[in-house]
Amino acid sequence: MDPTSGRVTNNRVLDFDGGQETVEFSVLAAAPGLDPTDPERTPRVSEARVTIKLQDVNDNEPVFEKEVRMMGEHYSPSPSYAKVVNPCEISFQSYSVSVREDSLPLTELLTLSATDADSGPNGRLRYSLEGAEGAGAFEVGI
What average pLDDT does this structure show over 6-20? 85
> Where in the chain are the domains?
1-55, 57-142
- Once rounded to an integer, what is the mean pLDDT over residues 6-34? 85
> Could you report the per-residue pLDDT of 60-74, keeping only the tens digit for each?
888 888 776 666 655
With contact defined as beta carbons under 8 Å apart, do 62 and 51 qualify? no
- Nearest in space to 64 (alpha carbons), one of 18, 17, 111, 97: 111
